[in-house]
A and B are shown apart, each in its own frame.
Chain A
Amino acid sequence: MEMVTIKYDNRIVRNFAVATMVWGVVGMLVGLLIAIEMFEPAMNAKLQFLTFGRVRPLHTNAVIFAFVGNGIFMGVYYSLQRLCKARMFNDLLSNIHFWGWQFIIVCAALTLPLGFTTGKEYAELEWPIDILITLIWVVFAVNFIGTVIKRREKHMYVAIWFYLATLVTIAVLHIVNSIELPVSYLKSYPVYAGVQDALVQWWYGHNAVAFFLTTPYLGLMYYFLPKAADRPIYSYRLSIVHFWSLIFLYIWAGPHHLLYTALPDWAQSLGTVFSVMLLAPSWGGAINGLLTLRGAWDKVREDPVLKFMVVAITAYGMATFEGPMLSLKNVNAISHYTDWTIAHVHIGALGWNGFLTFGILYWLIPKMWKTELYSRKLANLHFWLGTLGIVFYAISLYWAGITQSLMWKQFTPFGVLQYPNFLETVLQILPFYMIRALGGAMYLIGALIMGYNLSRTMKQGKLVPDEEATVPAHWDEAHAVKLNKHRWIERRPIQFALLATAVVSIGGLVELVPTFLVKTNIPTIASVKPYTPLELQGRDIYVREGCYTCHSQMIRPFRSETERYGDYSKAGEFVYDHPFQWGSKRTGPDLHRIGKKYNNLWHFMHMEDPRSVSPGSIMPAYPWLYTQSIDTAIVGSKIRAMQKLGVPYPKEYDRQAVGDLKAQATLIAGDLQQQNAPGDPDKEIIALIAYLQRLGTDISAQR
């Protein structure tokens, strides 16, 4: 057999590995900050840039796209070269990919605290960054597929399929969810509104979990776990079966994020059914991982790498059991909007993604630097700190979530809410928030110890930047005795990519298309009117401050909710909401029927210092809304953008919009002045009050 000597690019793997560690610590640190803000709102130092609503998107984006993202690329660039027996397709593309991705992260870290956000969870980045993400993703895709094409190994190992599914699906998800109409350089409106926007967003949100946090990590598991344990995966057949079933089922499950909302019922049921079915392929992967270690548990006792991986796979198994359970409507009725969901995602993020990343790093760094791990003791310390951190984090939030939800739903024997004051249910769970922050701090300290341990490991060894390997020059066609269909597709990456796209698109299409096409899905309500220019400005401030990270705008049809908040939310009430702001968590009460519930003065005082009207509240103060002026220059283009999106403002309304805005602002400011409050019609707080007072009131005009 003709052999050639090639060089694997280890430098790019090192770059992504270092980025993974650095952004991991940053993301966790930001997470710890907002965890403390949950019981100590003064932690924001009264700076708008450090306030929960703006930093929470920073935390989620940093952890998902910076920490896990770089972790994916680290693992992919290492394993793909070896699985393909080929150097990466093009070194320049590798470097553009690396530096481009880091640049995107820096852009996110700058824009999100400054309040430039689309207001859609896990897709908060504004349109220029969205375009940049698309470009860099294409660079990655070309580099990836190029490598697969020039590979010297005929068979495509299961990990490569998982990477390919990720590559294709994330591209589709990102593009579909980010279709937005720019208003200015850093402001845009999504083309979808209300229910449609919610469906697209959670189709994206759920599948981002599926194809960014799950499939690539399963691919990594299928490569690095056998490597670390030095034994083949338990069942290769199971890996094939569970791959196809997983990518086919995952794409349909998104609506389980919207149970009991204004989403059409059939879509909700579809989401539930597919979520329950997902248990099988998910556990297929988890079991396959754990059984790989059969007969090797003595190694798990010794080797920190395997310890991390075992906990990671166990966490994956737990989270994917919990997911289908939370998708059952009767469980979701209790869990939704509570900290239960937060605990659930952190089992996945801290356990599955975090621990698998740590395991890979502990295996990869000594191997690439041709040395031994600097300190096994420190790695074990990290392991136990991390594991206990997860336990403290998750159990406290499970407890908090169930406690609070049951309090929300509790009626007295006389049929009135036992805890009518929302704040009472918040104060009850504050101790759990403190324990959660403790768990998060332990996890972060563990990661810092890893940083120290691995940097010492790097120092004592020497990186082999271009690792030589002697491999067969090409695969021998004569040996391909019998081509079967699956093998055919395995050797044709482009066709495979197209097929995978087709598979994942079907799920998306059937859910999206009807909601767009079928008018009956969104009953239009005649009394629902577009926002006034001032309210629209206020709404954009609401989005900018990330109010949706703590407040929902979606009252579910339960008596405990209609008693507390008012009439349940109807799909037709959101037809002008670009973007929808239903939220997914109630750290504070639902706001959909907040309009006219309190007077202007209450809001004025509440936003300036929430504790002046709600003693003990954990909501941050928003003093900057009282000094920053409403940006009237952009109002015209906002109105024009809304008109393009189908919002029925009168013709040429953009010219008179500023006048209307000022008139309404003067009215509200006058009302405040009458009650001896320093209401200034130019300030942002006036716009926010206008929006809050409008919320959920249109429907009452109908009666």
Chain B
Amino acid sequence: MSVIWVLVGFSIIVALGFLVAFIWAVRSGQYDDKYTPSVRILFEEDDKSSTFNHEIRKTPEGPGTDGDGNDQVR
């Protein structure tokens, strides 16, 4: 049965690796831009019904972004 423990141990190490990577990612500001992608998918030039497209027309570069998805705050 020993191979089970080798494999379980191995997978726990990998799982911990993921956890560490995730915590590091959050702490180091990986997910700073966690909002604009969700808004940008709503822009579509032909769609006149979208409220987001009205905003886009007022400010050609789009609200809060440089038009390329990067947060202008940075």
A residues whose Cβ falls under 8 Å from a Cβ of B: 1, 82-83, 153-155, 157-158, 223, 226-227, 230-233, 235-237, 239-240, 244, 248, 266, 467, 469-470, 472, 475-476, 479-482, 484-487, 503, 506-507, 509-510, 513-514, 517-518, 520
Contact = CB atoms under 8 A, between A and B. Distances in A.
Nearest to A267: B4
Q: B3, B30, B46, B68: which has the most chain A beta carbons within 10 Å?
A: B68
A244 B22 contact: yes
A518 B34 CA distance: 46
Nearest to A516: B3
B30 A486 contact: yes
Contacts of B22: 244
Contacts of B15: 248
The 5 closest A-B pairs by CB, nearest first: A232-B38, A237-B34, A236-B38, A484-B30, A510-B7
A421 to B, nearest CB: 43
A485 B38 contact: no
A547 to B, nearest CB: 34
Interface in B26-71: 28-31, 33-35, 37-42, 44-46, 49-52, 66-70
A1 B45 CA distance: 16
A510 B50 contact: no
A510 B8 contact: yes
Given A155-B37, A475-B68, A510-B10, A486 B45 contact: no
Which interface class (under 10, 10 to 19, 20 to 34, 35 or more) fits B? 35 or more
A485 B34 contact: no
B4 to A, nearest CB: 5
B7 A514 contact: yes
B42 to A, nearest CB: 6
B39 A485 contact: no
A532 B59 CA distance: 79
Contacts of A475: 68-69
A266 B18 CA distance: 24
Interface of B: 1, 3-4, 7-8, 10-11, 14-15, 18, 21-22, 25, 28-31, 33-35, 37-42, 44-46, 49-52, 66-70, 74
26 contacts: A1-B67, A1-B68, A82-B41, A157-B37, A157-B41, A158-B38, A226-B42, A227-B41, A227-B42, A232-B39, A232-B42, A236-B34, A244-B22, A248-B15, A467-B46, A469-B44, A476-B68, A480-B70, A485-B30, A486-B31, A506-B14, A507-B11, A514-B1, A517-B3, A518-B1, A518-B3
A137 B19 CA distance: 32
Nearest to A515: B4
A155 B69 contact: yes
Contact of A484 (B18, B28, B41): B28
Contacts, number: 98
Given A230-B42, A509-B11, 7 more contacts: A235-B34, A239-B38, A472-B68, A475-B68, A479-B68, A513-B3, A518-B3
A618 B65 CA distance: 65
Contacts of A485: 21, 25, 30
A155 B68 CA distance: 9
A351 B35 CA distance: 29
B10 to A, nearest CB: 7
Contact of B29 (A154, A484, A509): A484
Contacts of A472: 67-68
B19 to A, nearest CB: 10
Nearest to A241: B22
Contacts of B25: 484-486
Contacts of B29: 484
Contacts of B51: 230
Contacts of A232: 35, 38-39, 41-42
A402 B42 CA distance: 46
Contacts of B39: 232
B8 to A, nearest CB: 6
B38 A233 contact: yes
A470 B45 contact: yes
Contacts of B52: 230
B42 A153 contact: no
A235 B38 CA distance: 8
A248 B15 CA distance: 9
Nearest to B50: A230
Contact of B49 (A155, A230, A476, A480): A230
A244 B18 contact: yes
Nearest to A478: B68
Q: B1, B38, B46: which has the most chain A beta carbons within 10 Å?
A: B38
A377 to B, nearest CB: 21
A226 B14 contact: no
A626 B66 CA distance: 76
Contacts of B33: 155
Contacts of B44: 82, 469
Contact of B38 (A154, A226, A481, A486): A226
B31 A514 contact: no
Nearest to A502: B14
A479 B70 CA distance: 7
Contacts of A157: 37, 41
Nearest to A488: B30
Contacts of B1: 514, 518, 520
A506 B12 CA distance: 10
A153 B36 CA distance: 13
A1 B49 CA distance: 26
Contacts of A503: 18
